A and B are shown apart, each in its own frame.
Chain A
Amino acid sequence: AQSVTQLGSHVSVSEGALVLLRCNYSSSVPPYLFWYVQYPNQGLQLLLKYTSAATLVKGINGFEAEFKKSETSFHLTKPSAHMSDAAEYFCAVNTGTASKLTFGTGTRLQVTL
């Protein structure tokens, strides 16, 4: 079985501040981990993915995430928030190619001036 837990359903940061969105996973086999972003009334867009290569993964729009096996974590960060980053972010896990993704409940990121 696999699952992800996203800590904090809402996160608010000032423009230019560090963004940190937390994700912890549970998996009985080595996981593959993903972060998706969802803008209002749109589908999910892949930000980045960890597939057992480098533990520090860089994605689009300046986001990155670090896989920490000892902490079972895959937190998403961005050094400087921009207003356009305001959206819903989902962490997800699967256990192999073309296998089902299990999503967390999401974190809504608000960026203020």
Chain B
Amino acid sequence: EAGVAQSPRYKIIEKRQSVAFWCNPISGHATLYWYQQILGQGPKLLIQFQNNGVVDDSQLPKDRFSAERLKGVDSTLKIQPAKLEDSAVYLCASSVQGGYGYTFGSGTRLTVV
């Protein structure tokens, strides 16, 4: 079974620029998550989708971050404008409906300079 695909793997941008990350979950996985992992910390949930609806976005900084999941499959996470503190690894994960635990992608490492 193919894993969770993410792109790009690395991105360097200047502060105040915009950036977008893409995630393709495992086929058939209804639930998709975006996590932010700052260096030296555990991952923190930004947003959770069930099919194409948002379940939890309480930790998403909505003034600069946005996310969508078109047709309940692929998802895009956008940051506009980026700040220095947004430097982190952005992990996408998916799970089957009713499943325990997730499958994570390899992540996108964002550096804001």
Contact string, B26-52, partner A, CB cutoff 8 A, digits 1/0?
A: 000011010000001111110010100
A110 close to B (CB within 8 Å): no
* Given A45-B104, A51-B100, CB of A105 within 8 Å of CB of B42: yes
* Alpha-carbon distance A102/B93, docked complex (angstroms): 14
Please state if A97 and B106 are interface contacts (CB–CB under 8 Å).
Answer: no
CB neighbours of B44 from chain A (8 A)? 103
- Smallest CB separation, A47 vs chain B (Å): 10
How many residues of chain B have a CB within 8 Å of chain A? 29
Please state if B42 and A90 are interface contacts (CB–CB under 8 Å).
Answer: yes
* 30 A-B pairs in the complex with CB atoms less than 8 angstroms apart: A34-B100, A36-B104, A41-B109, A42-B107, A43-B104, A43-B107, A44-B43, A45-B104, A46-B101, A46-B102, A49-B100, A49-B101, A90-B43, A92-B42, A94-B100, A98-B50, A98-B95, A98-B96, A100-B33, A100-B45, A100-B56, A101-B43, A101-B102, A103-B42, A103-B44, A104-B42, A105-B40, A106-B40, A106-B41, A106-B42
Top-6 shortest CB links A-B: A103-B42, A43-B104, A44-B104, A43-B106, A98-B31, A100-B45
The chain B residues found within 8 Å of chain A, CB to CB, are: 4, 30-31, 33, 40-45, 48, 50, 56, 91, 93, 95-107, 109
